[in-house]
Amino acid sequence: MTRTLPILTVLLAIVVLWYLAAIAMNAPWQTDVYKRGGIENVPATQFVLDTWNQEKPVLPAAHQVLTELWNTTVMVAPNKPRSLIFHAWVTFSATGLGFLMGSLLGIGLAVLIVHNDATNRSLMPWIVASQTIPILALAPLIVVIGFNIFTGTLHIPTDPARLMSKAIISAYLSFFPVAVGMVKGLRSPEAIQLDLMRTYNASASQVFWKLRWPGAMPYLFTSLKIGVAASLVGAIVGELPTGAVAGLGARLLAGSYYSQTIQIWSALFAASILAALLVIAVSLVERLVGARMGVRPS
């Protein structure tokens, strides 16, 4: 209760500000419409209502975005290209596939790094350095080239090829946070705990499965949450280069080409909802794993 009230207040303030901003930003166009239509002496309430209900507003009002969301999700069959669920599914499938590949790769690499000093010393500086690089800049390259290789050289049909090339970017983006987090996690057992395992005469694999791996779980899920968010960004950006016809990113791009602001905002909202759902899903798995491992609820 003490937490929901402030959050709701802030959200309400945002909505109020949003509507006020919509009046201010849509006003010039509205006065223009009145001037061209020869309409004079418009009452203030009518003017405000009109700014909130334009067809291509500079800033669409919240209810316009929500109506569009409603119309494109519930009112349309989910297999039609007009449906946002269809686009969200396309983006989600690339995100999920990429996230799966990236996390597995990241965990595998972290295990190698923790167990081999030479790998650690060769790779770790590069992994850390690569976090400062705008990897997302590679997205168009990977999408276009990847697509060409998959369809041209490997003769994969276009749809899976498009999915794969987007998933590669997603994997690439989620790989780094997971690798770095897991290295930290697998190293989190203290010397005294490792010593205890030694006194038990535990083998390397026993130390790994009974101490390091369970100890790394909190780190794993923290980095998985970052990774899944990064994966989604990767999939959306992967849909921007020309050629993508489906997906939330393609929807954003199409909206920006045709100045369909309401469409852009609804795609953005859909992407945000998808991001929230993905993070919540990871949190749920975290809770389940935690309960299974006997974590005390805090």
Partner 1 sequence: MSQLQYFLALVAGGLAAAALAISFAWPLDSAFLLRAFLVFGTISLVRFWLPLGLWLDGALALLGAVALLTGLGIYSPQPPFFWMALVTAWLFAWLFAERLARAIHEGILPDRGFGLLIPTVFGLAILVVWEVVTRGANVPQVILPPPSMIWARIASSVPTLLADFQQTFLKAVLVGYALGCGLGFVVAILIDRSPFLKAGLLPLGNFVSALPIVGVAPIMVMWFGFDFQSKSAVVVIMTFFPMLVNTIAGLNASSLIERDLMRTYAASYWQTLLKLRLPAAAPFIFNALKINSTLALIGAIVAEFFGTPIVGMGFRISTEVGRMNVDMVWAEIAVAAVAGSLFYGVITLIERGVTFWHPSVRGA
Q: Find where tokens 């690798």 sit.
A: 179
Residue 23 contacts partner 1 per CB under 8 A: no
| Shortest separation between residue 2's beta carbon and partner 1, angstroms | 7
Residue 24 contacts partner 1 per CB under 8 A: no
**Binding region for partner 1 (CB under 8 A) out of 26-34, 81-89, 135-143, 285-293:** 135-143
The correct pick among 33, 42, 49, 145 for binding partner 1 (CB under 8 A) is 145
**Binding region for partner 1 (CB under 8 A) out of 30-38, 188-196, 224-232, 284-292:** 224-232
Residue 15 contacts partner 1 per CB under 8 A: no
**Binding region for partner 1 (CB under 8 A) out of 43-51, 164-172, 272-280, 289-297:** 272-280
| Shortest separation between residue 8's beta carbon and partner 1, angstroms | 8
Residue 294 contacts partner 1 per CB under 8 A: no
Count residues contacting partner 1 (CB under 8 A)? 61
Residues that bind partner 1 (CB under 8 A): 2-3, 6-11, 58, 116-118, 120-126, 129, 131-141, 144-145, 148-149, 225, 229, 232-233, 236-237, 240-242, 248-249, 252-253, 255-256, 259, 261, 264-265, 267-268, 271-272, 275-276, 279
